Structure 1
Amino acid sequence: MPNQTLSPPRETKPRHILFTGGGSAGHVTVNTALIPTLLERGWKVSYIGSKNGIEKQLVSRLTGVDYYGISTGKLRRYIDLENVKDPFRVVKGVFQAYRLIRGLKPDVLFSKGGFVSVPVVIGAWLNRVPVIIHESDLTPGLANRIAGPFAKRICITFAETAKHIKGDKAVHVGPIIRNELRNGSAWKGIKWCKFTPGKPVLLIMGGSLGSQRINETIRRNVAELTRAYQIIHICGKGELDASCEGIPGYRQYEYIHDELADALACTDLVISRAGSNSIFEFLALCKPMLLIPLSKEASRGDQILNAESFRQSGYCEVLQEEELTDEVFLSRLARLYGNRDAIKDRMRQHGQEDAVSRLIALIMEQGESADAVL
């Protein structure tokens, strides 16, 4: 019998996913919730964002992710001289993204939105890479409306969002909750903040960039607030106030990373903007909320819609920014505290959806369809 030379087993190329999204933490947190699971499953993970945006800061904390920065403009809704330059930056970003993606050869692109995502989505489409978009808010943002025609699927958090999306691209997956937030320790949070056990804890979050209006309101009323609460104030980059240092029961931070799960675990009430990612995480953790959504003058009004949806479900109190006076603020906070047990009961009845598994399955499906095309 003639000798037969056995061919070495064929090496299987690992799946490769490219992420994009940025401009604010809300356009990154869904990505960072998915990335660890994909890495555990052996996927190669790359990320394209802006050269110096918050997405670079947040993604750099993850191991095993290659980050690439490109030129990007900003999709403003107000008059600014930079608006003249931004279209050229976006075009430059498209060319940069196209070349990067041509070299990286990912199986699929997952976009969370934000102004940086538009050139990346277009670059992926030009390279025939399947695109999945995720929309957190009740109505699609400007970046996702521009990128939508280039996508295979648009994943939505609110079922009602489907009526705002043309064709049959919408896939309702529900809210994405970061797993690590479910594992916080209230005792570790109290210890880290050097708080007294038993006294209620109030957490203030003005978004990743902070909210000057909310920060000012808290600090004007800090003496009265600390009589009733211990305060964790996440105020945004560059927004620390040296005059508030040393106030008993008040802790201020620009941003909280590793300790966020513990800080949330020890929290009784939350004051927050109404970005979808954050409020669904508070809902999952059963944290009654006072929501102060961005006004229509400062946004497209998506946070107002998010907050109203949660108010109708009985998960929060809502205070519009135009109503934000010290008296109304303190009154609304007191009402929230008085109703906290009933609110938490309603929150517990909210069904917890496994949105991460749904998204992972969709990503794998699109990756396989890319193989079929190639």
Structure 2
Amino acid sequence: MVEKNKKLKVVFSGGGTLGSVTPLISVYDAIKEKYPNTEFFWVGTKNGPEKVLIEDKGIRFLVFFSGKLRRYVSLYNIIDLFKIIIGFFESLIFLKKEKPDLCISAGGFVSVPLHWATRFIKIPTWIHQQDVRVGLSNKLMSSFATVITTALEQNSNYFPIEKTVYLGNPVRQDILDVDKQKAIELFGISRKKPIVLVTGGGTGSENVNRLVADSVEYLKDTCDIIHLSGKDRSHELLNKIALDNDHYKTFSFLQDEMKHAYAVADLVISRGGFGTLTELSILKKPAIIIPIPGHQEENVAFLAKSGAVILVDQSTCTGQKLASIVKDILGDKESMQNMSEKLSKLIRVSKKQDILNIFEKIIIK
């Protein structure tokens, strides 16, 4: 049994996008609530969207060198290899100095040098696999991991059975604790029409932004739109559209307000990151998913096949076609209800006590 007042040190890592960040925030919240004296660190990326969220939590944010190993021949592989080596030694120095009790990651190449370094000073690690396709970073870290958890039961087969646990996906509980009326007032929405929330992820998406921009005119009599366009994207055109259309509001990025945007949304249009899909699942929101080609398509495929989400291909979709899909969904309340119910059953949300059980089991060892 771990004493509640014991001073522990935990290092999280991940970033570049919010995909590897949001489930770990839930893990952080669970540990912080039960073990308030724990000291936390976060190793992230220099320019990723995660820094604002992490520092807002009061977690010390660190940036080490890291690099991406591509599965094809590229000069950048050589350059990034040197970055990984530098990051490894930075991590080694940090770990020897701070002597953390545990390092936790949900993937991302920023985590690889750190987790490799733990092996040399015998610090336990926990990695979490979200996506349908096992990422290369988690493959590289799995052999050193003390515990591996998975969001999907099928992915347990890709890792050593003796240290793998089917956990489901952690979700921030604060997204459930929202005053809907306050959320409506926050965005200045009348509620005379359904509300569609559009998000292209933490960094945004030019493809999603283009589709939404082209669909606004077609949806003026159908719905109000809250569009999160991404802080790294161009906003000039979107801001002009917002000035000319009362039913369209655009924001580059939302922090705490994101839970309010979810609360007022009748329909969500998003990318196919597993963290976002899990949030939609627990909130029971009908969704149109426009996945990034690659692993996100695999995340969405089994959900679309079961009728839990509507899958849209960004390469063939137009603004007019997207508007038509939105109109069809909003016009069929029964279909919206069925979609949200199916999604909530297909994606398992991890329980706080299960997260704590794994944490305590590692710490006791």
Same fold (TM over 0.5): yes
Aligned to 2:57, which of 43, 58, 62? 62
Question: Structure 1 residue 77: deviation in Å?
Answer: 5.3
Aligned to 1:273, which of 271, 287, 301? 271
The one-letter amino acid paired with 2:319 is D
Please give the secondary structure, in 1, of the residue aligned with 2:128.
strand
- Find the aligned partners of 1:349 and 1:122 in 2 and give their Cα distance: 36
Please give the secondary structure, in 1, of the residue aligned with 2:19.
helix
- Find the aligned partners of 1:13 and 1:345 in 2 and give their Cα distance: 41
Aligned to 2:90, which of 90, 93, 96? 96
Deviations 1:311-334 (A, max 9, x none): 233321111223323343233333
1:133–1:51: structure 2 CA closer, same or farther, 3 Å change rule? same
Question: Structure 1 residue 250: deviation in Å?
Answer: 0.9
Match of 1:304 in 2: 297
Q: TM-score, normalised by structure 2?
A: 0.90
Q: TM-score, normalised by structure 1?
A: 0.88
1:215–1:77: structure 2 CA closer, same or farther, 3 Å change rule? farther
Matches within 5 A, 1:71-86: 71-76=65-70, 81-86=75-80
In the TM superposition, structure 1's runs of 4+ consecutive aligned residues that sit over 6 Å from their partners are none
Question: Structure 1 residue 14: deviation in Å?
Answer: 1.0
When structure 1 is superposed on structure 2, of 327-336 and 317-326 the one drifting more is 327-336
Matched, 1:365 2:361: yes
- Find the aligned partners of 1:353 and 1:54 in 2 and give their Cα distance: 24
1:200–1:45: structure 2 CA closer, same or farther, 3 Å change rule? same
Gaps of 5+ in 1: 1-11, 296-300, 370-374
Please give the secondary structure, in 2, of the residue aligned with 1:265.
helix
- The CA RMSD over aligned residues, in Å, is 2.0
Aligned length: 352
Match of 1:329 in 2: 322
Match of 2:338 in 1: 342
Match of 2:44 in 1: 49
- Find the aligned partners of 2:352 and 2:63 in 1 and give their Cα distance: 26
Alpha-carbon contact 2:199-2:227 (below 8 Å) kept: yes
Aligned to 1:198, which of 192, 197, 203? 192
Deviations 1:15-41 (A, max 9, x none): 221111111111111121222332232
The one-letter amino acid paired with 1:244 is I
Aligned to 1:318, which of 306, 311, 314? 311
Q: Which has the larger radius of gyration?
A: 1
Deviations 1:149-193 (A, max 9, x none): 111211100111112224433211012111000012222222111
1:341–1:56: structure 2 CA closer, same or farther, 3 Å change rule? closer
Question: Structure 1 residue 201: deviation in Å?
Answer: 0.3
Matched, 1:168 2:162: yes
Match of 2:241 in 1: 244
1:285–1:215: structure 2 CA closer, same or farther, 3 Å change rule? same
1:78–1:171: structure 2 CA closer, same or farther, 3 Å change rule? same
| Higher relative contact order structure (alpha carbons within 8 Å, sequence separation ≥ 6) | 2
- Find the aligned partners of 1:175 and 1:31 in 2 and give their Cα distance: 10
The one-letter amino acid paired with 2:113 is P
Alpha-carbon contact 1:190-1:266 (below 8 Å) kept: yes
Aligned to 2:210, which of 201, 216, 223? 216
When structure 1 is superposed on structure 2, of 245-254 and 37-46 the one drifting more is 37-46
Aligned to 2:126, which of 128, 132, 135? 132
Alpha-carbon contact 2:282-2:349 (below 8 Å) kept: no
Match of 1:9 in 2: none
- Find the aligned partners of 1:352 and 1:152 in 2 and give their Cα distance: 23
Alpha-carbon contact 2:215-2:322 (below 8 Å) kept: no
Matched, 1:24 2:22: no
- Find the aligned partners of 2:21 and 2:341 in 1 and give their Cα distance: 30
Please give the secondary structure, in 1, of the residue aligned with 2:162.
coil
Please give the secondary structure, in 1, of the residue aligned with 2:119.
helix
Match of 1:356 in 2: 352
- Find the aligned partners of 1:351 and 1:81 in 2 and give their Cα distance: 39
1:192–1:350: structure 2 CA closer, same or farther, 3 Å change rule? same
Gaps of 5+ in 2: none
Matched, 1:225 2:214: no
Question: Structure 1 residue 204: deviation in Å?
Answer: 0.5
Deviations 1:26-66 (A, max 9, x none): 11111212223322323221222234433323211112x22
Please give the secondary structure, in 1, of the residue aligned with 2:227.
strand
1:191–1:308: structure 2 CA closer, same or farther, 3 Å change rule? same
